[in-house]
Amino acid sequence: MEWTKYVLSLVFGGCLLMLFGRKEDGRDKWLLGLGAGSCLAAMELTVEYMLGEPQWKMAVSAMKGLAFFSAVVLAGYVRDWIVGGRRALTDMEVAHPVRQWMEDYQESFAQLSRSFCMVPQMAAEVNSRGDRILLDRLAESRMAAAGQLREMSQILVGTMERIYSTREDTELEQEIGKRLRLMGVRVHKVFFYNPLGRKRQIYMTMNTRRKICVPVKKIAAVLSDLMDCEMMPARDSRSIVSQERVTVLFVEGVAYNVLYGVRKETRQQEAVSGDNFSVFWLPDGQFYAGLSDGMGSGIQACTQSELVLDLLQQFVEAGFSKETAVRMINASIVLQPEEPVFSTIDIASIDLYTGVCDFVKVGASVSFLKKENGVECIRGGGLPAGVTSQIPLEPYRIRMYDGNILFLMTDGVISALPEGQEEETMKHLIRNLPQGTPAEMAERLMEQVRTYGEGADDMTILVAGIWKR
């Protein structure tokens, strides 16, 4: 039948396309048209030659093959035009990192706006002592709100810095796309993020061309070869790339790994602990460990300390500095219409590239660093968050090395030790603590603290150690 020749011609063109058209360099439609047209002309000419048809008929057959070739190529261009229009729309959906950062900021600002909405309303006249107290409370809230506005201005400055640190490299992007096409991966867009003084990051939007799955680690290996440094997928990123378009963040490999463990004890006669902890990693190689002790105990203290740590993680992950996050958390507590529940804030952030550890302590207990040659104390001070609108922050920085172990703890642990000898006793306990995993060391340390008697407050110990990769 006549249509059979056209089907066979298209099949031959498809085979030619599969063999030589994998690089998506714009010649796919020409390969398909050439294969289909030449196959149709060859079949027509063969049949007419065997039947002894006149030359003009053979010329018509050749023209028929040429026409079929032109029709296939034209259909290819029409398809590209239609798909290109759709792709132009979908390319707008490529996850630009700056847009993602702004969305994170938007969510954080929404949280701050809710704090502003909780400012209590003043009566028209101040006649009673209660009204005077309310007036003082409002003045304090206004000071906190002014502090938040100042922090917002700093946030906008930081946003501009992040925008200018994001760049495009067309040549490198093309090279990445060329290498990954051989693996069946189609790269839509690549953004290079090079923050000042930080390691390189790559945001890459991609998907597979066919019904295959490619491990993200294989893609990271290609990037490592092209970038002349170890690149690895960010923590908690997806492990494979499929036909679904996704954006994956690749970061420069860190020098240290970190392990942590936590042990908690609840105050007697209380159902829940007022202590809470938070542990998380950032894509730029920062490890965060945080403790918060809600003043008192029970559900109210637990709720407040949990809120403090949730806000801390949200702000820091959005790109705010530790100091800015703490000031905004303090302001949000001050702005509460009801009597606030004060909370301590104890933050340790470890740079897994350099081993540098930064501390921010707001009313927090002393921390300890176990090193090869002894135990070092890291002291805090000041009042808990929410007591006053202005809190002095005195960041403390130390350098951690391979095998160093950090001990964060709430004041309930310290107060359980002999009065006047708390720090020395804890240093002795840590110095003689058997080596093990951070979780095991937290468990053993809590057991030794309990030998001095039942604590009168909630107790939490968080242990984190770093080791060379």
Q: Same structural domain for residues 240 and 273?
A: no
Is 301 within the bounds of a domain?
Answer: yes
Give the closest residue to 453 by CA, choosing from 419, 430, 408: 419
> Is 141 within the bounds of a domain?
no
Side by side, the strands of the sheet bearing 367-371 are 256-265, 459-468, 405-409, 367-371, 374-378
Residue 124 has pLDDT above 50, yes or no: no
pLDDT at 392: 77
Residues 285, 237 within the same domain: no
On whether both 408 and 318 belong to a single domain, the answer is yes
> Of 252, 287, 321, at which residue does a domain stop?
252
- pLDDT-derived band of residue 122, with 50, 70 and 90 as boundaries? very low
Co-location of 321 and 342 in the same domain? yes
Beta strands 286-293; 256-265: pairing state: unpaired
Same domain (yes/no): 86, 232: no
pLDDT at 433: 93
Domain boundary among 38, 65, 91: 91
Q: What is the mean pLDDT of residues 63-77?
A: 65
329 lies in the same domain as 440: yes
Percent of the chain's residues with pLDDT above 90: 29
Residues 319 and 268 in one domain: yes
Domain of residue 206, residue span: 166-252
Among the three residues 252, 274, 309, which one is the final residue of a domain in this structure?
Answer: 252
The model's pLDDT over 394-411, given as tens digits with 9 standing for 90+, comes to 788 999 999 999 999 998
Both 436 and 459 in a single domain?
Answer: yes
pLDDT digits (tens, 9 = 90+) for 411-469: 889 988 988 899 999 999 999 999 899 999 999 999 999 888 766 778 999 999 999 98
Q: Is the domain of 288 the same as that of 390?
A: yes
Q: Give domain status of residue 22, yes or no.
A: yes
pLDDT given at position 40 = 63
- The verdict on residue 388 lying in a domain is yes
404 lies in some domain: yes
Question: Do 449 and 362 reside in the same domain of the chain?
Answer: yes
Note whether 69 and 170 are same-domain residues.
no
Please report, for the domain that includes residue 345, its CATH number.
Answer: 3.60.40.10
Residue at 299 is within a domain? yes
Total domains, the chain: 3
Asked if 95 and 203 touch (Cβ cutoff 8 Å), the reply is yes
* 365 is a domain residue: yes
**CA-to-CA dists, residue 319 to 155, 285, 313, angstroms:** 8, 13, 10
User: Exposure pattern of 362-379 as b/e (b: 16+ CB <10 Å)?
Assistant: bbbbbbbbbeeeebeebe
Identify whether residues 77 and 175 lie together within a single domain.
Answer: no
Q: Under DSSP, is residue 420 helix (H, G, I), strand (E, B) or coil? A: coil
Structure tokens at 63: 């023209």
Residue 142 lies in a domain: no
Q: What pLDDT score does 453 carry?
A: 74
